[in-house]
Structure 1
Amino acid sequence: MFAISLGDDGAELRPLEPWRAEEYLAHMDRGRDYIGRYVALPTVCTDLVSARAFLQAYADKAAADTGRILGIWLDGTLVGGVLLRVMDVAAGTCEAGCWLEPSAAGRGLVTRAVRVLIDWALNERGLHRVEWQVSSANTASINVAKRLGMTKEGVLRESYPYRGVRHDMEVWSVLAPEWRAAQPDAR
């Protein structure tokens, strides 16, 4: 299958398919507490059956053209991922997301991987809008949105109940014309 280099540090973006469930579960186990601070992935994937089912759901979304999931590998080890959680081709919109285990944090991997995902969504798939929803407490993810040139549209106050706490969710987005104008090859 394919791999897209994310730079000179041995990082790659690859499809995260159901046959990788064991590797995905081991990755979730390594980063369960860290990843689970703001996203529910670790509570969804607790064993091999649930990990395989989660990845199969995204394989089904890819087949239906309603979502995608890609893993981030660093030196051959799965350390995170990016996804289009929701994708509506007819409306030209999608919602991107990410996660990363702590050993890979602070290297710019998510920013580089999401950049590839946005390029694909807007330039290959022809979508018009990529949305990013993030807990107001998740500074790292907010910084990714800023680095990617997204615009903060507002805050959905206490809209996300997670682990007994209601989180404010920020909505960030980038539109296709904005994205293309900001790309170095567009100048």
Structure 2
Amino acid sequence: MPLNHLNQPIGEPIVDFTRGELPNIQLIEGQYCCLQRLCVDRHFKDIYKFIGPDSPESQWTYLPISAQPNEQAAQQLLQEWANSADPYYLAIIDKASQKVVGIFSLMRIDPQNRTIEMGWVIYSNLLKHSRMATEAQYLAMQYVFDKLKYRRYEWKCDSLNQASFNAAKRLGFQFEGIFRRAAVYKERNRDTAWFSMLKEEWQRMKPKFERWLAADNFDDEGKQLRSLNDC
């Protein structure tokens, strides 16, 4: 550990550090899905199916909003999201059907320190527990670390949201702890679980994702032969 001239321990020096770029995504294409910047005109019809009144109530338990009651409210919300630079919303598109099957965002974007967070993850039933869902997260990570060259990628969730907690760990994020009484939403307390992935950890996870996503890792019914952690 380096010491300064006062013999105090200090952080490792970073050579030639510069401010990071902001996200600027038109299309990121994978094997099974692609990511596009959210566009109301192109994406509304598909998205309304999983954020409108017919969406599962359980989907909204750990989000600060609820299902949109009608098309007008949903259009207004999605237009706000499409206009937002932070969070920066992306549509997840199934390449086979060309339908939008989920959305998420890059948020709390900090180019000064090269950190960014994955958030506002809303999946349709067609995307949940699918290889597309994993690939979508992989494509976002790849963009953050390999294209933007950010140093730290974060994942946060309500500490009681076990599905999100498990997803973060499966995807290779490292648990950092619980921020107690960090927020109030829907008139209740939220203790927030913090996770992160550093660029060195991404380099170790990247080949695991690529091996897991390979076509020969799935049987004829689309079931995985090896888990992500075993790849």
**Deviation per CA, 1:108-140, whole angstroms, max 9, x where unpaired?**
433321221121112111211111111122222
Is 2:157–2:194's contact at 8 Å kept on the other side of the alignment? yes
Percent identity (aligned): 24
**Amino acid of the residue matched to residue 4 of structure 1?**
E
**Amino acid of the residue matched to residue 50 of structure 2?**
H
**Amino acid of the residue matched to residue 71 of structure 1?**
A
Structure 2 residue 138 is the aligned partner of structure 1 residue 138 = no
CA spacing shift, 1:111–1:131, aligned 2, 3 Å: same
**Amino acid of the residue matched to residue 171 of structure 2?**
L
Report the Cα distance in structure 1 between the residues aligned to 2:103 and 2:62, rounded to whole angstroms: 15
Q: Cα RMSD (Å) of the superposition?
A: 2.7
Instruction: Name the SS of the counterpart of 2:154 in structure 1.
Output: strand
Question: Which residue matches 1:69?
Answer: 89
**Deviation per CA, 1:40-99, whole angstroms, max 9, x where unpaired?**
3435x544454444444444444xxx4422122333332212211221112211111212
Give the superposition deviation at 1:39. Answer: 1.1
Give the superposition deviation at 1:180. Answer: 2.0
Is 2:89–2:106's contact at 8 Å kept on the other side of the alignment? yes
Q: If each structure's helix is expressed as a fraction of its own residues, which one has the higher value?
A: 1
Is 1:25–1:48's contact at 8 Å kept on the other side of the alignment? yes
TM-score (norm 2): 0.65
Structure 2 residue 115 is the aligned partner of structure 1 residue 115 = no
Report the Cα distance in structure 1 between the residues aligned to 2:131 and 2:179, rounded to whole angstroms: 27
Report the Cα distance in structure 2 between the residues aligned to 1:114 and 1:53, rounded to whole angstroms: 26
Report the Cα distance in structure 2 between the residues aligned to 1:82 and 1:60, rounded to whole angstroms: 14
Instruction: Name the SS of the counterpart of 1:102 in structure 2.
Output: coil
Q: Out of 79, 93, 114, which is 2:115 matched to?
A: 93
Is 1:25–1:46's contact at 8 Å kept on the other side of the alignment? no
CA spacing shift, 1:67–1:152, aligned 2, 3 Å: same
Structure 1 gap ranges (5+): none
Give the superposition deviation at 1:160. Answer: 2.9
CA spacing shift, 1:6–1:32, aligned 2, 3 Å: farther
**Pairs within 5 Å for 1:1-187:** 2=27, 4-7=29-32, 11-19=33-41, 20-29=43-52, 30-42=54-66, 45-62=68-85, 66-74=86-94, 75-97=97-119, 98-184=121-207
Report the Cα distance in structure 2 between the residues aligned to 1:150 and 1:82, rounded to whole angstroms: 17
Q: If each structure's strand is expressed as a fraction of its own residues, which one has the higher value?
A: 1
Give the superposition deviation at 1:142. Answer: 1.6
Report the Cα distance in structure 2 between the residues aligned to 1:180 and 1:140, rounded to whole angstroms: 25
**Deviation per CA, 1:147-175, whole angstroms, max 9, x where unpaired?**
22111011012323232321221000011
* Structure ID, larger Rg: 2
